[in-house]
């Protein structure tokens, strides 16, 4: 491939500095390369770049930062269906498989088309109030519904394909993809799921019951979470967070309907390590 686009996390100085280095390296080898404008924030809902400004003939988007940067960039550009690859300038990276020491080797492999494309399932969430959709977005990692304001638990009422599942008080609830299973969901006690799987994981955050655990559902199931009434005189306030980016306020009686998104994130994979080997190395 010969046409590249670079997105750099402005908060990571190493990423910004290396954007120019990578651009020169690629151009010296006969490639075309453009860097997303730095210092000019795109209009919401985009975080790092406006997809309308990415030339349609780009073959690869290089994301400089960490897993968080790659997550937000993937949400920005998913409709373009241009594959991404992350170069990790953060800490622990599961999505951004290339680190600084292997950066040039990775670029050479991309130029020589020595890469495969891995498609990752995404989620779509719609917040419904009084029968109307008041907010929606997509997520590659997870959709988290958690309390807002006072430190007290919220009652979550959960449905699967319209059928009542359970209800419990908790600090929050995480609905994650297999990609997101190694993120917040894992920290809350959820299972690790191979990233190419098509399933959805429901994980409670600090549930105030002894028998509540994570549940794994087929990817085509529709999950609905309702904010229940805890005290008759109070209105509970919550936040629905999409990959920690888009935030939508919720309150008692609101529901969020979560389904598998119609689009998938497309991520370049360069090495031939199995998921088990990557997991062993990252988790030590």
| pLDDT single digits (tens) 171-200 | 999 999 999 998 899 999 999 998 889 999
Residues 136 and 97 in one domain: no
Provide the annotated active-site residues: 67
Contact (CB, 8 A) for 188 and 142:
no
List the domain range (segments joined by +) for residue 229. Answer: 123-261
Tell me whether residue 280 is in a domain: no
**81 dihedral zone (left: phi>0; alpha: psi -120 to 50; beta):** left
Tell me whether residue 187 is in a domain: yes
Residues 61 and 142 in one domain: no
Predicted confidence (pLDDT) per residue in 77-106, tens digit: 999 999 999 988 766 566 777 888 888 999
Contact (CB, 8 A) for 257 and 159:
no
Q: The CATH number of the domain where 94 resides is what?
A: 3.40.50.10330
Q: The CATH number of the domain where 161 resides is what?
A: 2.60.200.30
pTM higher than the cut 0.75: yes
User: Given strand 237-242, what is the order of strands in its sheet?
Assistant: 215-218, 199-205, 172-176, 142-147, 237-242, 246-251
Residues 57 and 155 in one domain: no
Predicted confidence (pLDDT) per residue in 22-43, tens digit: 999 999 999 999 988 765 667 7
Residues 109 and 130 in one domain: no
Question: How many CB atoms within 10 Å of residue 282?
Answer: 12
Residue 168, pLDDT > 80, answer yes
| pLDDT for 203 | 97
Tell me whether residue 270 is in a domain: no
CA distance 72 to 95: 12
114, 132, 156: which is the final residue of a domain? Answer: 114
82, 114, 146: which is the final residue of a domain? Answer: 114
pLDDT band at 50 (very low <50, low <70, confident <90, very high): confident
Contact (CB, 8 A) for 158 and 225:
yes
114, 138, 162: which is the final residue of a domain? Answer: 114
Tell me whether residue 278 is in a domain: no
Pairing type for strands 154-160 and 98-99 reads unpaired
Predicted confidence (pLDDT) per residue in 155-167, tens digit: 999 999 999 999 9
Tell me whether residue 274 is in a domain: no
Residues 107 and 221 in one domain: no
As a whole-number percent, the residues of the chain with pLDDT over 70 amount to 91
Residues 17 and 133 in one domain: no
Residues 145 and 257 in one domain: yes
Pairing type for strands 142-147 and 172-176 reads antiparallel
Tell me whether residue 231 is in a domain: yes
Tell me whether residue 208 is in a domain: yes
Residue 221, pLDDT > 60, answer yes
Report how many domains make up the chain: 2
Tell me whether residue 277 is in a domain: no
| pLDDT for 249 | 94
Residues 54 and 23 in one domain: yes
């Amino acid at each position: 491939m010969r046409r590249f686009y670079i997105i750099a996390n402005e908060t990571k100085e190493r990423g910004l500095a290396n954007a120019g280095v990578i651009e020169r390296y690629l151009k010296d080898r006969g490639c075309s390369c453009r860097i997303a404008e730095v210092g000019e924030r795109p209009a919401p809902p985009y975080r790092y770049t406006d997809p309308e400004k990415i030339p349609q003939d780009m073959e690869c988007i290089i994301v400089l930062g960490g897993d968080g940067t790659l997550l937000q960039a993937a949400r920005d550009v998913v409709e373009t269906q241009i594959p991404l690859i992350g170069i990790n300038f953060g800490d622990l990276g599961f999505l951004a498989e290339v680190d600084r020491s292997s950066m040039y080797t990775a670029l050479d492999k991309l130029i020589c088309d020595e890469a495969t494309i891995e498609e990752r399932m995404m989620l779509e969430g719609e917040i419904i109030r009084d029968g109307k959709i008041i907010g929606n977005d997509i997520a590659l990692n997870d959709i988290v519904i958690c309390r807002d304001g006072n430190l007290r638990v919220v009652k979550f009422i959960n449905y699967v394909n319209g059928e009542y599942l359970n209800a419990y008080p908790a600090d929050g609830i995480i609905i994650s993809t297999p990609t997101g299973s190694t993120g917040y969901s894992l920290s809350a006690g959820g299972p690790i799921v191979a990233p190419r799987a098509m399933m959805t994981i429901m994980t409670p955050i600090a549930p105030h019951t002894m028998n509540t655990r994570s549940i794994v559902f087929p990817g085509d199931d529709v999950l609905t979470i309702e904010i229940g009434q805890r005290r008759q005189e109070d209105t509970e306030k919550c936040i629905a967070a999409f990959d920690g980016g888009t935030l939508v306020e919720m309150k008692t009686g609101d529901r969020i309907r979560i389904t598998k998104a119609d689009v998938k994130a497309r991520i370049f994979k360069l090495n031939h390590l199995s998921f088990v080997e990557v997991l062993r190395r990252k988790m030590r």
